[in-house]
Amino acid sequence: MDMFEHQFEKKRLREAPLAARMRPTGFDEFVGQERLVGKRRVLRRAIESGKLPSIVLWGPTGSGKTTLAFIIASVTESHFSPVSAVSAGVADLRRIIEQTTENRKIQHKRTILFIDEIHRFNKAQQDAILPFVEDGTITLIGATTENPSFEVISPLLSRCQVFRLNPLTADELRIIIFRALKDGLRGLGALKVELADDAMEHIIAMSNNDARAALNILEMAALTTPEGDNGKRCISLETIEEAIQQRSLTYDKGGEQHFDTISALHKSMRGSDPDASIYWLARMLEAGENPLYIARRLVRFASEDVGMADPQALVVAMAAQQAVHFIGIPEGNLALAEAAVYLATAPKSNSLYRAYSQVQEELKKGSAEEVPLHLRNPVTSLMKNVGYGKGYKYAHDYPGHFVKQQNLPDSLKDKRFYAPGDHGYERQVAKRLKNWWHGRDS
């Protein structure tokens, strides 16, 4: 690097966002993921020994996936080729592979191909790198916020070790913010920033466990806060609220208020109160609660408290989850509101919850009898000879596509777990069961 390039690089780093400037350069600066990269932990040992396999880093936004990839490349002294799955195509990947082959001949260095948001690559793009991962031409580090079991093709996933990163905790975010405030070279130390305690807590609350988001908020507040007579920039809660463009709500995502508020939402929906339901939902969303957490609770409620009284409730709840996943926040807020109001106004039944709980109790008692022979599939002649499938009645051969036969083990043959209620769709279910199983309690 000549003098001009060196000066350009210094200028680029100086003008980079705070989150980029504060990116850790080694494990000593890296915050979080102690169970993976703490001293003597398995991933740390693999990195430091130079025996790192291809890996996929799976974790939420701002948990350190990209930073960890940079550190891995530095520690292993590898050539680092980062690409974003949002903009890169097969041609870009092939060009990197060609460069990698040349680098190995000349420099004898390993090449790490880092693919950010690898879940956005389609099958053809993932297939393009598969042979080179398999033969060791490149070491792949993929980063994704999505479950790689669903987003990464099986052949590629089978050649990678998946490591799941946890969201950063409030204490870990606090460490990152303090470092940025004190660092005079890369951080805000030269600006002499003082951050009020409640302002610090609001940054943490609003960043949704995302270190990048927290530093972006901090930088915006610091740069827009004028210097006082004492030469310091004092950042208050009001300054942070203005930087975020959102007022503070009393809410602790990791503490009692979090559990109290989700309980209020759940019980308001159970109580068929749409006004209270949408109020508590908005309280959480506007305070920065993870919308996917709320979506998961709505899905649970749909099965536990509405259940078979309105099977469409589960469909609506899952559609809301997909909408949030697809369009994000704040646009997805209305999808969650629609689901919450639908669930609150739906007929209620906990018959599924009670039925499953009763089955659990039976299993705890040791009820684990073998499957009755007539329900087993005789897939081989030996199985057929010993009685598998013998006496099984194929329902479609009978009027109404129904025939009485025993489907539970002998010890439970008269047991009734599911008792439909008399609200909504379950009225039809109860009538149908009564017609099929005449004389059976339902």
pLDDT in tens, 405-415: 888 887 888 88
DSSP category for residue 425: T
Q: Which of 3-12, 123-132, 297-306 bottoms out in mean pLDDT, i.e. has the lowest?
A: 3-12
CATH number for position 219: 1.10.8.60
- Does 26 map to a domain? no
Same domain for 282 and 213: no
Same domain for 406 and 297: no
- Does 65 map to a domain? yes
Cβ burial, residue 173 (10 Å; 0-12/13-18/19+):
buried
pLDDT range class, residue 129, cuts 50, 70, 90: confident
Domain boundary among 194, 212, 244: 244
Position 346 scores a pLDDT of 92
Position 230 scores a pLDDT of 87
Cβ burial, residue 79 (10 Å; 0-12/13-18/19+):
middle
Same domain for 175 and 160: no
Same domain for 128 and 80: yes
Same domain for 152 and 81: yes
Position 40 scores a pLDDT of 84
- Number of domains the chain contains: 4
pLDDT in tens, 248-269: 455 555 555 678 888 999 999 9
Return the SS3 of 55: strand
- Does 91 map to a domain? yes
Nearest residue to 143 (alpha-carbon basis) of 210, 209, 84: 84
Residues 205/98, Cβ–Cβ less than 8 Å: no
> Kindly report the CA angle at 438 between 433 and 442, in degrees rounded to 5?
45
Domain boundary among 276, 310, 345: 345
pLDDT in tens, 28-69: 899 998 999 988 888 899 888 888 889 999 988 888 999 999
CATH number for position 418: 1.10.3710
State how far the Cα of 90 lies from the Cα of 111, in Å rounded to an integer.
18
Q: What is the mean pLDDT of residues 58-81?
A: 89
Same domain for 409 and 335: no
State how far the Cα of 81 lies from the Cα of 95, in Å rounded to an integer.
11
Residue 158 region, left (φ>0) first, then alpha (ψ -120 to 50), else beta?
alpha
Cβ burial, residue 68 (10 Å; 0-12/13-18/19+):
buried
- Does 12 map to a domain? no
Same domain for 306 and 202: no
**Which residue range is the domain that position 323 belongs to?**
256-345
State how far the Cα of 364 lies from the Cα of 410, in Å rounded to an integer.
18
Same domain for 62 and 38: yes
Cβ burial, residue 420 (10 Å; 0-12/13-18/19+):
buried
Look up residue 365 and give its two tokens.
């008692």
Cite the beta strand spans of 344-415 per DSSP E.
none
Same domain for 266 and 314: yes
- Does 93 map to a domain? yes
- Does 261 map to a domain? yes
pLDDT in tens, 85-114: 878 788 888 888 887 777 676 666 788 889
Same domain for 220 and 320: no
DSSP category for residue 191: G
CATH number for position 76: 3.40.50.300
- Does 314 map to a domain? yes
Residues 118/143, Cβ–Cβ less than 8 Å: yes
pLDDT in tens, 355-405: 888 888 888 887 667 888 888 888 888 888 888 888 888 889 888 888 888
Tell me the pTM: 0.57
Q: How many CA atoms are closer than 13 Å to the CA of 88, on its beta-carbon side?
A: 25
Nearest residue to 300 (alpha-carbon basis) of 280, 326, 320: 320
Nearest residue to 29 (alpha-carbon basis) of 67, 85, 82, 73: 67
Same domain for 132 and 74: yes
Same domain for 232 and 262: no
